[in-house]
Chain A
Amino acid sequence: MKILVCIKQVPDMESKFKVSGDGVTIEETDLAFRINEYDEYAIEQAVQTKEKNEGSELVVACLGADRASEAIKKALAMGCDRAIHIVDNESQTKDSFQVASLLKSAVSEENFDLIFTGMQSQDRGSAQVGILLAEMLGIDSVSTIVSFELSGDEVAVKRELEGGIKGLVKVKLPALLTCQLGLNKPRYPTLPNIMKAKKKPVDKMEVASLAAVENVLTVKNLHPPAKKGQALYLEGDVNDIADKLIAELKAKTAVLS
């Protein structure tokens, strides 16, 4: 079986974010980068599937800047066999449609049986790339999976629905699955695997060498959420605070009217 996992390198969410001078991208200087959390579930599921199905090959694909090679190294250390790195130092400016198209042109000839992606990315959160890639490849897809079972050429997955309900979905291979928190616990790469990963093949393709498509979505402006009001600290003794609170509630809300 040929398995593909698509990953993205994202900024650590604790980083200090600053909008660049162009007003539409994020300044990268002071950002720490890591593998998108949901993609780690995808990698883990892909590795487990590979381990259970002897003779399988697991490929990791990543569209991202040069720095994304760190994320690829980790995916290889976790158990992927080889990597496709679409090197794109302007990946921030690409929308989901363009990313999915580029991934498609990089992987379509390999005819993967099973593709895993994260449910969404932590930085953009559009939850589009996986689904779009499946559509472009003309295969079935299931989003937001929290359990996975493969028997023969059929996959049974549970997907998270709203209100705590889960749906059981069966799908024939080839298929693409987007992975959600709760699916598994990503492994910590062992040192021998980290060492071996250094020698695994990484196929670097320049983004310009792939078929170009245009964004369908344009970012016009990027800014931190506007400040909406602020907390009000009431001070003084209990009676004062109570009076002030009543006055505030009367003035600004309808709860006491």
Chain B
Amino acid sequence: MEATREIYWNIGASAIIPMYIMATLSLTYLAKGIYDHLKLLKLGKAPLDRDNRLLFRAFYTAKQVLFQTKVRMKKTMGGLHSMFMWGFVVLTIGTGLIFIQADILDPLFGITFLKGTFYKIYSIALDIAGALAILMVLGLAVRRYIAPPKGLPSTAGDLAALTLLFLILGTGYLIEGFRIAVTELKQNPDLASFSPFGLWIAEIFYPYGEATLRELHVNTWWLHMTLVMGFFMMIPHTKLKHLILVPINIFNADLGPKGKLVAIDLEDESKETFGAATLADFTWKDVLDSESCLSCMRCQDLCPAWNTEKPLSPMKIIQGIQTQALENPHGNIIDSLGKDAIWSCTTCLACQSICPAEIEHVPKIVEMRRHLVLMEGEFPGEEVAQAMDQMEVNFNPLGSPFASRGDWAKDLQSKLSAPADADILYFAGCYGSFDARNQKVAKNFITLCHAAGVKVAILDKKEKCCGEPARKMGNEYLYQTLATENIEAIQNTGAKKVVTTCPHCYDTISKSYPDLGLEIEVEHYATYLNKLLQSGSLKINREGLNATYHDSCYLGRYNGEYDGARSILSEAGIETKEMKASHESSLCCGGGGGRIMAEEKLGTRINQKRANMAADTGAEVLISNCPFCLTMFEDGIKGANLEESLQAQDLSEILIQRLTKEEA
């Protein structure tokens, strides 16, 4: 006997038309519901071009959806979600194949394909997929109602969705079991064994006899169909909407460069408002982002502000935008979200990097900051206003005289070259130039380059703040003013390559200066020095150290450079201990997003939290690659009373200690 089954067995042809009417109605309702969601996108009026690289976008979306790459960045839950999704994908494909055979190919062309070996594979695949899905539904229920993670918001919709999914899967098995009991259990036990779970149910119900089973079968079938239609109709009203909205959002994702902000066109004289204060100031993608959030809390769990009791949760920012769209679409969004939340962000990008829905949190926060600064002249505190003022007058946030910017290099003149003869132009940055602790880093870098035979030039007092802290605080005008002047100074040197010791300078000069006309190779010193070590130009002694390494946000998450510094440390003979948050999930030092200029008045201190994390590894030295990190850790170690056991050092200090004597 050929392995197959009669489609619509026991249901009868008369059921098909009512079933399709129900399906059409419920799917129309679903489409209308999704349309209502997408209609909100019109609220975002700022221009945004995501209409490019469509093929790449399609592949990227397929990859993210099918392989769940970002979903699985969260280890356990991500894996379970993938299995859940795959279970449903298999079930949906199975149903689709039935539709194709029973309603298209068979009636029109007399073609059937659900038979033989293919049918056996089909049968067992669907049976296992269904069981997997039931298991995952139960697992999700346990997570939500028995052992929920801290702060998990639960709605009536969540309960309804889980219950419905469970009932749909359950009735599906019952239908299968009833059918197998009547048609396969005795007649074709070999085929029945390809539906192990259906077989199990068939065995339980077999004793009821064919008539009862047929009666149960047809009724359960209608119940199952009704539930499925209910499921369609529920999608727009519960988080199930993510099945449709998240793939759309991923398709429209920011394709990079990662974390790069959109520059405001300051030449455009028709522009009278800047930044975002209402939904109209945002883009359609910002609204789509808010529609795509399903409260998984991954962003919030990694947020340095949220984890130090500050009034910012990236998830709540996104959901606040959705609430605004539904309840008060023309109102002031900054008032609804709260200025303290907006100012608390360190732009560390942890939220955005982990978000499986490709929601872009940071640019929204910066847009609102832009409004506060550029339209209202507001800052998070007087100290920030003063730092901005200093950037305008002395071109650095520290308030040191601009003319003494190059003074740190006074004793190193013999190791410096004129820009025209130099291999690289070293952009020291404000902290490297003026902050006593970080001047050592700048000097070390020159010494290391000299030892490696690299000719280095500096801009001296022609260098200005790269503008990054001002920009992330919302002051785009000041950023562009400083950037334009730096670009002119860099271009005048004729330099071919810029190296920085600050990842904020690096990220800004490499990604954002091109918008203003500078195209030049830029490297962060971790990458650069690693190359010098690997090529053998730079020679160091190996000497072990009990240390841990901190991934700065702007070298790590923003630029994906995790290995350069680790490779340097390994060359230096150091086997670092990893902190519990490292690489993509590293915790910010607290100094990003212009927060280096601001006092941290709310909640607990981020730098102390990070210092404690470092101390927890048992390491004696916390190695970083960023002047803000170094500054924050020097303070954080003192504040957390770890001075006796932990020391903050820059990567360059590790190298300089290991440089052979005569070269140092």
Contact = CB atoms under 8 A, between A and B. Distances in A.
Contacts of A1: none
B25 to A, nearest CB: 52
A188 B377 contact: yes
Contacts of B461: 30
Interface in B251-308: 266, 269, 272-274
Interface string A1-18: 000000000001011100
Nearest to A31: B403
A34 interface: yes
Contacts of B408: none
Contact of A190 (B269, B374, B388, B392): B374
Contacts of B388: 188
Interface stretch (B394-402, B412-420, B436-444): B394-402
B399 A15 contact: no
A167 interface: no
B435 to A, nearest CB: 15
A249 interface: no
Interface in B355-375: 373-375
B393 interface: yes
Contacts of A187: 377
A64 to B, nearest CB: 16
B140 to A, nearest CB: 48
Contact of B377 (A16, A30, A32, A189): A189
Interface in A155-206: 187-192, 194-195
Contacts of B401: 12, 14-16, 30, 32
Nearest to A15: B401
A188 B375 CA distance: 10
A218 B365 CA distance: 56
Contacts of A148: none
B385 interface: yes
Contacts of A97: none
B402 A32 contact: yes
Given A12-B401, A30-B401, A194 B394 contact: no
Contact of B403 (A15, A33, A189, A190): A15
Interface residues of B, number: 27
Contacts of A189: 377
A33 B375 CA distance: 25
Secondary structure call for the B interface: helix
Nearest to B373: A188
A193 to B, nearest CB: 9
B394 A191 contact: no
B645 interface: no
Nearest to A189: B377
A31 to B, nearest CB: 8
A16 B404 contact: yes
A190 B376 contact: yes
B506 interface: no
A12 B401 CA distance: 8
Given A188-B388, A190-B375, A192-B375, A16 B403 contact: yes
B379 A32 contact: no
Contacts of A195: 269
A34 to B, nearest CB: 5
Contact of B393 (A29, A32, A190): A32
A14 B400 contact: yes
B206 interface: no
A11 to B, nearest CB: 10
A15 B404 CA distance: 9
B379 A188 contact: yes
A12 B390 CA distance: 9
Given A30-B401, A33-B393, A188-B377, A194 B477 contact: yes
A207 to B, nearest CB: 25
Interface string A40-84: 000000000000000000000000000000000000000000000
Interface in B105-150: none
A194 B274 CA distance: 12
A191 B374 contact: yes
Nearest to A191: B374
Contacts of B379: 188
Contacts of B394: 12, 14, 32
Nearest to A78: B377
Interface in B455-483: 461, 476-477
A50 B613 CA distance: 55
Residue with the greatest number of chain B CB neighbours at <10 A, chosen from A14, A29, A33? A14
B375 A191 contact: yes
A239 B477 CA distance: 60
A15 to B, nearest CB: 5
B393 A34 contact: yes
A12 B393 contact: yes
Nearest to A194: B477
Contact of A14 (B269, B399, B476, B477): B399
A30 to B, nearest CB: 3
Contacts of A12: 393-394, 401
Interface string B483-514: 00000000000000000000000000000000
Contacts of B373: 188
A54 B376 CA distance: 21
B403 A191 contact: no
B340 to A, nearest CB: 19
A192 B385 contact: no
A12 B461 CA distance: 16
A32 B401 CA distance: 7
Contacts of A31: 403
A33 B389 CA distance: 12
Contacts of B402: 30, 32
Interface in A185-244: 187-192, 194-195
A136 B236 CA distance: 77
A34 B399 CA distance: 13
Nearest to B374: A191
A31 B388 CA distance: 18
B399 A190 contact: no
Contact of B385 (A15, A30, A188): A188
Contacts of B273: 192
Given A16-B401, A16-B404, A30-B401, A191 B393 contact: no
B400 A190 contact: no
B390 to A, nearest CB: 8
Nearest to B375: A190
A34 B477 CA distance: 18
A29 B58 CA distance: 58
A32 B405 CA distance: 12
Contacts of B389: 34
B190 to A, nearest CB: 77
A97 to B, nearest CB: 29
B384 to A, nearest CB: 10
Contacts of B377: 187-190
B90 to A, nearest CB: 55
A190 B475 CA distance: 10
A188 B477 CA distance: 12
Contacts of B272: 192
Contacts of A191: 266, 274, 374-375, 476-477
Contacts of B476: 191
Interface string B90-116: 000000000000000000000000000
28 contacts: A12-B393, A12-B401, A14-B394, A14-B400, A16-B403, A16-B404, A29-B403, A30-B401, A30-B402, A30-B403, A30-B461, A32-B394, A32-B401, A32-B402, A32-B403, A34-B393, A188-B373, A188-B377, A188-B388, A189-B377, A190-B374, A191-B274, A191-B374, A191-B477, A192-B374, A192-B375, A194-B477, A195-B269
Given A34-B393, A187-B377, 9 more contacts: A16-B401, A30-B402, A30-B461, A32-B401, A32-B403, A188-B388, A190-B375, A191-B266, A191-B477
Closest 10 CB pairs of A and B: A30-B403, A188-B377, A191-B374, A34-B393, A15-B401, A32-B393, A32-B394, A14-B401, A12-B393, A191-B274
Interface of A: 12, 14-16, 29-34, 187-192, 194-195
